[in-house]
Amino acid sequence: MQTPQEERLAAVEEKLDRISGQLQTLLDAQRPFAELAAEMGPIASEVMSTSVDQLAHLEERGYFAFAREIKYLLERIVEDYHPGDLHELADNAANILDTVKAATQPSVMAALRDAVEAFEDPRRLKPLGVFGAYRKIRKDKNVQRGLAFALDLLGRVGRATARAPRMSRNGTALPSATSRPRLSPPARSSSKNGAPAKSSPPVVASSNGAPATPDLHTFVPDDEWSRELAVSRAEMLGIVELSEEHWKLVECVRLEYTKAGSTPNIRKITHISGLTTREVYTLFPKAPGLTVACIACVPKPVGCL
């Protein structure tokens, strides 16, 4: 019969046997991972070395610098253009691609190459007088063909110009030159004390002679300009309320016109106001340069229709 001490030793031996079996099971399960790591180590090292070499090669060729410049280009597009401009570009993508396809035909590219060669070697071209040009036109068939092509091109451009409607920056069609309304002369009046009365904005006369909308592109001096006048002009343009940010931009444009003598465009507005193009479009979504000029009572910026 075993003593208590021998029973305790037997129980300990039994537990050690179970622990030993469990450790062996864990070792057996871990062995495939160890073998896989041993096999994949050299492969992973080779892949890493190849990747580093390839990235270094791309960096030497300037791919990463090019990617940084593309990022800068995208930032400028987002800041300087409105999403509506991108929508219009997408609408005209087919026409643009058709034009590029037609302009890159072999015959067109050959003609452009010949023209470039003429620019690269101008010394072989001798000046011609009137009679020399006439003699060249009369005798040289190629010159005659080129002249016929130039005249046909001018005719096509003229027809396209006549058919194309004139559009404002906000997308509305402007009247043609034949139907352009006439400006009525400003009325001359004086106040009771003999001082000249403040001039009101000129009024555009409609076709039946009735007064229509005032001319919003004339400069109003500081002694005649007021926020009430600016609010009335903003209401004519569909802007119900002007916040402090609106007023800051309007007064900034008036100050710039007073200093420089010309109305700033969008790029100049962003420079003098400290706002980004996106913020300017947020305040005035439709034609911001023209809209701010109208509310500020200064002439429209150069280039605005």
User: Quick one: average pLDDT of 62-79?
Assistant: 82
Inform me whether the pLDDT recorded for 223 exceeds 70: yes
54 or 214, which is more confident: 54
Q: What's the pLDDT score for residue 305?
A: 54
**Which pLDDT tens digit goes with each residue over 233-260?**
888 888 888 889 899 999 899 898 888 8
Q: What's the pLDDT score for residue 151?
A: 87
User: Quick one: average pLDDT of 2-22?
Assistant: 81
Distances (CA, A) of 261 to 217, 257, 258, 289: 14, 5, 6, 16
Inform me whether the pLDDT recorded for 185 exceeds 50: no
Q: What is the 3-state secondary structure (H, E, C) of the chain?
A: CCCHHHHHHHHHHHHHHHHHHHHHHHHHHHHHHHHHHHHHHHHHHHHHHHHHHHHHHHHHHCHHHHHHHHHHHHHHHHHHCCHHHHHHHHHCHHHHHHHHHHHCCHHHHHHHHHHHHHHHCHHHCCCCCHHHHHHHHHHCHHHHHHHHHHHHHHHHHHHHHHHCCCECCCCCECCCCCCCCCECCCCCCECCCCCECCCCCCEEECCCCCEEEECCCCCCCCCCCCHHHHHHHHHHCCCCCCCHHHHHHHHHHHHHHHHHCCCCCHHHHHHHHCCCHHHHHHHCCCCHHHHHHHHHCCCCCCCCC
Inform me whether the pLDDT recorded for 176 exceeds 50: no
Q: What's the pLDDT score for residue 74?
A: 82
Question: How much is the pTM?
Answer: 0.34
Inform me whether the pLDDT recorded for 296 exceeds 50: yes
**Which pLDDT tens digit goes with each residue over 278-292?**
888 888 888 888 888
User: Quick one: average pLDDT of 91-109?
Assistant: 82
Q: What's the first-to-final CA gap in the chain, in angstroms?
A: 116
Q: What's the pLDDT score for residue 210?
A: 40
Inform me whether the pLDDT recorded for 31 exceeds 70: yes
**What's the gap between Cα 208 and its chain centre?**
42
Q: Rounded mean pLDDT of the chain?
A: 75
Q: Where are the domains of the chain?
A: 92-163, 203-296
CB 284 within 8 A of CB 291: yes
User: Quick one: average pLDDT of 47-61?
Assistant: 85
Inform me whether the pLDDT recorded for 182 exceeds 60: no
Inform me whether the pLDDT recorded for 170 exceeds 50: no
Burial of 280 (0-12, 13-18, 19+ CB in 10 A): buried
User: Quick one: average pLDDT of 157-169?
Assistant: 64
State how far the Cα of 217 lies from the Cα of 201, in Å rounded to an integer: 9
**Which pLDDT tens digit goes with each residue over 118-130?**
777 666 677 777 8
203 or 74, which is more confident: 74
CB 267 within 8 A of CB 236: no
Q: What's the pLDDT score for residue 157?
A: 81
Structure tokens at 227: 């926020």
State how far the Cα of 293 lies from the Cα of 278, in Å rounded to an integer: 18
Considering all CA atoms of the chain, what is the largest pairwise distance in Å, rounded to the nearest integer?
142
